[in-house]
Amino acid sequence: MRLPESMTICEVGPRDGLQNEKQILSVQRKIKLINDVVNAGVKVVEIGSFVSPKAVPQLADTDEVAKGITRRPEVEYRALISNLKGAERAIFAGITKVKLTVSASESHNKSNWNRSTAEVIRGFDDVMELAAKNGLEVSGAISTAFGCPFEGNIPREQIMDLIQTFSSMGVTEISLSDTTGMAYPSQVYEISKIARELFPSVRFWLHLHNTRGLSMANIIAGMQAGIVRFDASFAGLGGCPYAPGASGNVATEDVIYMLDLMNIYTGINLNKMIEIARDVRQDVGHETESFILKAGKPLALSTRDTDKLQREV
């Protein structure tokens, strides 16, 4: 197997994990969760989104959360935006990196943003101009890259065209998102490999949902294709309110557990992430899709210091 020596995990629980929950956490609780995952060793955190409070009331307080977290210089704190207003809010809140998102599916764009793909993309020019003037870094995300709940399979050319669109705007970091968990390993490998070959200067992320139980296999496929950056959510929380059937992300603690055993360095303490996931499960008041929370670590590893499984690179 062609495996990387290290992998970067972005904790998206504070954004994608909480945006679909009925229970809305307080500002202080969100701040503590973000600080806790950073203390566990996470180096990239998606703290929330600057979108319409009416559309996503669970994240209406992202401005306050952004101002309240303890910033560490070595940690990247990013947020999702959809338009110029979101970029302005991010700058005012002190966020220095935002993620612009467009769907590979016309139907999902209309469901999620109430705009066509072309209309969504046209709005990016103003954001890029504002970002350049204010030192705001912009990454991109392509939703439903591996399948749409309304349209089914998305032609590969559509995905590559959107990558080209982002790249022509100067975006050098792009997330390919499996919004409703429709991806499968050979597809993830093929699309990731082709994207990396066609756009060698772009840093690609994979954002995988575990809706149908294939996310861990898809992570392996992504790694085989050379992807070393993945999103994950504490306790496996997550989902898109505007995509039918979009259940939780792959659980951060499950991913770290697998990578620890494979001797792939993440720098994240598994035991601390398990504690955070347990607390989050209590916060939301229901069972989640985390396998480690359900089964625990094997007895042979239960007293073992998982930090020692992390190989220095």
pTM confidence score = 0.92
Give the active site residues. 240
**Domain architecture of the chain: domains with CATH:** 8-309 (3.20.20.70)
- Check residue 108 and give its pLDDT: 82
From the number of C-beta atoms within 10 Å of its C-beta (0-12, 13-18, 19+), residue 279 rates as: middle
pLDDT in tens, 24-73: 999 999 999 999 999 999 999 999 999 999 989 999 999 999 999 999 99
* Measured distance CA(42)–CA(185) in Å, rounded: 26
pLDDT in tens, 220-269: 999 999 999 999 999 999 866 555 555 689 999 999 999 999 999 999 99
Cβ within 8 Å of residue 77, ≥6 positions away: 34, 45, 47, 66, 69, 71, 95, 96, 97
